Amino acid sequence: MKPFAIAGIQMHVTAGHSNVEAMRHKLDLLVARFPWVQMVVFSELCVFGSVPRNAQPLPGPVEEALCEMAARHNIWLIPGSLFEQADAKTYNTAIVINPNGEVVGRYRKMFPFRPYEEAVESGSKFMVFDVPDVGRFGVSICYDMWFPETSRTLVAMGAEVILHPSMTDTIDRDVELSIARATAVTNQCYFFDINGVGDGGVGRSIIVGPSGYTIHEAQGGEELIPVEINLDRVRRERHVGIRGLGQPLKSFRDRPVEFPVYQRGGPADAYLESLGPVAKPERGSTAGLSSEAKVMPVSRFDTVVSELADNTSPTSRDK
């Protein structure tokens, strides 16, 4: 057994403001209390919150500050994600930084949360990276996990751990907890789903092992979540089966069929095409609304968040 220690940081995120100093404080506290931690994962959009206007060029000053944090503590750092500005487009991008403070890769979220994440482009490249003498890690972001092909591809590329920053502030978090467990057990891997609180989510981060057992499920407040994992457990499960039973990765490898649903323009596309475009839902009725009532279009959400962020400091928020 060669243990490896990963900590999730479930922290309060403020939309529209830099959270870098708060992240630095949490990281300092984590390492002081748990000096045996070797990798740290923050939540999705932790750096600046969910306001696309704060998109940053990569590389850039913010990334340099994050790299300095990793080097100072000699840890692997996945600082959640941030909006990246590149070629007049905006991406939701996670950065992987090694203990020397070097960026080893950037992953752009493949499935922005349509139809709500309208201004964000989709990434197209998977990302795995190796921690020397430990194992291979994969990265995905929030809504990506609703598409099992993303996790299965990372595992087919050799990932034994999937690191998954999230920003879920909606009523479907309980569903995501089930997806996290299913992702871990069907892919026989560790799954670290780290959510934020405040503007960054409802908390309830979850870490699941390769047998589908929940290692830790956080509550709704801030938490430091240090966990020591054993990648030999992943290799054993993949060799003998989940709890000594099913061997889904081998069975998938040996499958007797191909799946026509993945052939664009094929017969399996007909029903999916009939569903229509991805669009924000409309009201089922106007019951209870007078003709004089003024209703805010859903499309104004980002504008309102930006305005609130401009007029609300972290200090005034806490009062």
- The three-state (H, E, C) secondary structure of the chain, written as one string: CCEEEEEEEECEECCCCCCHHHHHHHHHHHHHHCCCCCEEECCCCCCCCCCHHHCECCCCHHHHHHHHHHHHHCCEEECCCEEEEECCEEEEEEEEECCCCCEEEEEECCCCCCCCCCCCECCCCCCEEEECCCEEEEECCHHHHHCHHHHHHHHHCCCCEEEEECCCCCCCHHHHHHHHHHHHHHHCCEEEEECCEECCCCCCCEEECCCCCEEEECCCCCEEEEEEEEHHHHHHHHHHCHHHCCCHHHHHHCCCCCCHHHCCCCCCHHHHHHCCCCCCCCCCCCCCCCCCCCCCCHHHHHHHHHHHHHHCCHHHHHC
pLDDT for residue 267: 77
pLDDT for residue 315: 43
Is the pLDDT reported for residue 260 higher than 80?
yes
pLDDT for residue 317: 39
Q: What is the pLDDT of residues 25-62, one digit of tens each?
A: 999 999 999 999 999 999 999 999 999 989 999 999 99
Average pLDDT over residues 264-280: 86
pLDDT for residue 263: 84
Is the pLDDT reported for residue 248 higher than 60?
yes
- Report which of 190, 194, 188 is spatially closest to residue 164, judged by C-alpha positions: 194
Average pLDDT over residues 166-187: 97
CATH number for the domain formed by residue range(s) 3-261:
3.60.110.10
Is the pLDDT reported for residue 2 higher than 90?
no
Per-residue pLDDT band at 288 (split at 50, 70, 90): confident
pLDDT for residue 268: 77
pLDDT for residue 302: 57
